A and B are shown apart, each in its own frame.
Chain A
Amino acid sequence: MSSTGHLTGKGLQAVPRFQHGSRVPGWDDAADLTKDPAGVPDPAVVEVPADLRAEIEDFMSRYPDSRSAAIPALRAAQERHGWCSPEAVEQVACVMRLTPGYLASVAGFYDQLETRPVGHRPVYVCTNISCSLRGADNLLAELQHELAGADDVNLRGFECLGACDIAPMVSVEGVYVGPVDEAEIPELARQIRAGEDPLPAKQLIRRPCQDPGAAAPE
């Protein structure tokens, strides 16, 4: 698709601008520049669910430097809030004694940490080389069509998920399935909507190693 469209005349789009005039979405478009940057939250003011606090503190205890727990802690908060919402980030910041700004910058780096409100159930379709050679782009388009309106699902294309042997493949909340045949897509979509075990026979966890040498037990 052309981004300039000077020859085809197609694809001409207005350049999106964010609130502060920036063309770059992300780190600054949610900030209110009239306010001072937020400091480390006051534990007396911020309420953190007890189980979340316990989980984060457990992560912090594993490392010589507790800051290492930033990613596991953000993931834990995201699992409860659905995304790294300002509230989720503030709770993590409160337990870890870091600023929300620091944690937001970390969250913005990683594909799995969502800095926008999205469905809380991640479904990734790999669209990288090996999968696209075997029909991944079509799979993503069909799934998008089938799952239209399922607001709790965060369906997105993803880079290579490390399962090119089952291309084209989908990760349904961490459960890898593939190769997904075209005819199976409606059934898969139905299972995703219903929260059922996706295509049980096609799950990666059940796939034997392909090496003939591996099959011969001594």
Chain B
Amino acid sequence: MTQTILFKNIDEPGLATLDVYRARGGYGDRLRKALSMPRDVLVDELKASGLRGRGGAGFSMGTKASFLPKGQMDKYLVCNADESEPGTFKDRELMQKCPHMLIEGMIIAAYAAGANRAFIYIRGEYVQQAQILEAAIEEAKAAGLLGDRLLGTDTSLSLWVHRGAGAYICGEETGLLDSLEGKRGNPRLKPPFPANQGLYQGPTLINNVETLATLPHIIEMGAENYAKIGVQNSTGTKLISISGHVQKPGNYEIELGMSSRDIIYGLAGGPGEGRSVKMWFPGGSSSPVLTGEDLDISYDFDSMAKAGTMLGSGAIIVVDDQTSVVDVALKTAQFYRHESCGKCTPCREGTNWTVKMLERIKSGEATPMDLDLMASVCENIIGHCLCVLGDAMAMPIGSMVKKFRGEFEEYIETARLQAERELLAGLDIDTDSTTITIPQAA
């Protein structure tokens, strides 16, 4: 039904080793072909493939590579393997099972960008994956695929794995750079963009694991053929992580433009018997939610944008009809409150207020007016911060309040009555036989 590119043979035993990877065509003609192309031609090829970044923002990979200044200077390539967006776990599967695909992609990207130092910034929690990557890099170094004058060309590349230590904000590209420089991972003001001033103030290309791992395949099949997969403006295949209330959670490779229903029901089996999809995050917890009525939307960048949400990292979280929207909203907001780096007031305080308001709703202390207050807090976060972490909370919460306002109001009412009942019980009043008369002011 769909073409398997990245996940082809992924479960083959030993694919993480150099020998098996080579037997499957890795580091072969396609790598030599890429390294023998003039840089501009290679960058144009990447542009022509239509490949858009797989980490969240969906920016054209080739265009980003073309932004790096030419000329002799220290340039860097950084692979973003922080993968902390709730619901996302696709890079993990790639790095763990086929680390050489990422390394090969990084050699190609570094050559295109003119970078001779590269780092993989992997989240600290991925212990086993970091070990596998390090072993693969050692193998590649020993085989002359990394290091000085790799494969006998003029190109040199040093590559290290850098392990983070648990901070979602270090997935944001400039926060990542500060963290990689040994600092607290606070995002930087942009511009300057990393392509001009990134790591150690040098021009830096930052791409997601999946984006980089796709490059060898683009070279192998040719940009033109790659661009034929998928739909206009969303070419190629995409790794999708599906989790939550589905029967077969996991990673799937799909052709962009597949119907969302076919992904959620066809591939992942949908929610269990007798349950239905209440809402779903199409691109990680930062994307505005869609409902059970939006299942026929095509899964690609533009269609998701048209539906008022985003494809993001390609992480679908499904929530079934037996779950309260208030609980999901609270979990979401709590995450962003915890992960806000605290640099901007609207984000630091806005995420905190939102959690408090949701807690008030849960404990029965809120009124429907609080929903408007919450919406206004969210509105005032959006666009007023240094990075988009604040927006990443405000947008999904805002969409939940908008799409499930009736349920929120009902919840507020029920919780308020419940709290009053408990209060009366605490006062030891027999509610059945006593009528409480409220003294009238004279």
Which A residues fall within an 8 A CB radius of B?
1-4, 6-9, 11, 62-65, 67-72, 74-75, 105-106, 108-113, 124, 127-130, 132-134, 158-167, 171, 173-176, 205, 208-218
Q: How near does chain B come to A114, taking the closest CB pair, in angstroms?
A: 10
Question: Are A218's CB and B9's CB within 8 A?
Answer: yes
Q: Give Cα distance in the complex from A175 to B129, angstroms.
A: 10
Question: Are B165's CB and A209's CB within 8 A?
Answer: no
> What are 12 pairs between A and B in contact, CB < 8 Å?
A65-B181, A67-B183, A71-B124, A128-B86, A133-B323, A134-B244, A162-B88, A164-B243, A165-B89, A173-B127, A174-B125, A174-B127
Residue in chain A with minimal CB distance to B284: A160
Q: Which residues of A contact B32 (CB under 8 A)?
A: none
Q: Which residues of B contact A6 (CB under 8 A)?
A: 365
Q: Which residues of B contact A113 (CB under 8 A)?
A: 165-166
Q: Give Cα distance in the complex from A164 to B323, angstroms.
A: 17
Interface residues of B in 336-382 (CB under 8 A from A): 338-339, 341, 356, 359-360, 362-365
The verdict on A8 contacting B423 (CB below 8 Å), with A2-B365, A64-B200, A111-B166 known, is: yes
B10 within 8 A of A: yes
Question: Are A130's CB and B96's CB within 8 A?
Answer: no
Q: Which residues of B contact A64 (CB under 8 A)?
A: 74, 117, 200
Q: Which residues of A contact B181 (CB under 8 A)?
A: 65, 67-68
Q: How near does chain B come to A67, taking the closest CB pair, in angstroms?
A: 4
Question: Are A213's CB and B167's CB within 8 A?
Answer: no
Residue in chain B with minimal CB distance to A124: B125
Query: Which of B62-70, B187-195, B296-304, B327-335 binds A?
Result: B327-335
Residue in chain A with minimal CB distance to B9: A217
Question: Are A3's CB and B356's CB within 8 A?
Answer: yes
The verdict on A110 contacting B9 (CB below 8 Å), with A129-B328, A160-B335, A213-B253 known, is: no
Question: Are B7's CB and A75's CB within 8 A?
Answer: no
B241 within 8 A of A: yes
Q: How near does chain A come to B341, taking the closest CB pair, in angstroms?
A: 8
Q: Give Cα distance in the complex from A217 to B23, angstroms.
A: 13
Q: How near does chain A come to B19, taking the closest CB pair, in angstroms?
A: 16
B126 within 8 A of A: yes
Question: Are B165's CB and A110's CB within 8 A?
Answer: yes
Question: Are B10's CB and A209's CB within 8 A?
Answer: yes
B56 within 8 A of A: no
Question: Are A8's CB and B89's CB within 8 A?
Answer: no
Q: How near does chain A come to B309, taking the closest CB pair, in angstroms?
A: 16
Q: Give Cα distance in the complex from A133 to B86, angstroms.
A: 13
Question: Are A162's CB and B84's CB within 8 A?
Answer: yes
Q: Which of A9, A165, A174, A211 contacts B4 (CB 8 A)?
A: A211
Question: Are B83's CB and A8's CB within 8 A?
Answer: no
Question: Are A165's CB and B249's CB within 8 A?
Answer: yes
Question: Are A109's CB and B184's CB within 8 A?
Answer: yes
Question: Are A129's CB and B332's CB within 8 A?
Answer: yes
Query: Which of B100-108, B147-155, B156-164, B218-226 binds A?
Result: B156-164
Q: Which residues of B contact A124 (CB under 8 A)?
A: 125
Residue in chain A with minimal CB distance to B163: A72
Q: Which of A8, A128, A173, A205 contacts B422 (CB 8 A)?
A: A8
Question: Are B332's CB and A211's CB within 8 A?
Answer: no
Q: Which residues of B contact A208 (CB under 8 A)?
A: 11
Q: How near does chain B come to A5, taking the closest CB pair, in angstroms?
A: 8
Interface residues of B in 5-45 (CB under 8 A from A): 7-12
Question: Are A8's CB and B363's CB within 8 A?
Answer: yes
Question: Are A7's CB and B423's CB within 8 A?
Answer: yes
Question: Are A211's CB and B7's CB within 8 A?
Answer: yes
Question: Are B426's CB and A9's CB within 8 A?
Answer: yes
Question: Are A162's CB and B123's CB within 8 A?
Answer: yes
Interface residues of B in 407-425 (CB under 8 A from A): 419-420, 422-423
Residue in chain A with minimal CB distance to B418: A8
Q: Which of A65, A67, A210 contacts B252 (CB 8 A)?
A: A210
Question: Are B92's CB and A162's CB within 8 A?
Answer: yes
Q: Which of A67, A165, A205, A209 contacts B243 (CB 8 A)?
A: A165
Q: How near does chain B come to A172, taking the closest CB pair, in angstroms?
A: 10
B87 within 8 A of A: yes
What 0/1 pattern do residues 305 to 316 of B give for CB contact below 8 A with A?
000000000010
Q: Give Cα distance in the complex from A171 to B89, angstroms.
A: 14
Residue in chain A with minimal CB distance to B249: A165
Question: Are A164's CB and B86's CB within 8 A?
Answer: yes
The verdict on A160 contacting B86 (CB below 8 Å), with A9-B423, A64-B200, A68-B180 known, is: yes
Question: Are A165's CB and B11's CB within 8 A?
Answer: no
B317 within 8 A of A: yes
Question: Are A71's CB and B364's CB within 8 A?
Answer: no
Q: Give Cα distance in the complex from A119 to B327, angstroms.
A: 31
Question: Are A159's CB and B359's CB within 8 A?
Answer: no
Contacts A132-B327, A165-B243, A213-B253 supplied; 11 other A-B pairs, CB < 8 Å: A1-B363, A3-B356, A67-B183, A75-B165, A109-B341, A112-B166, A130-B249, A134-B244, A159-B339, A164-B86, A217-B12
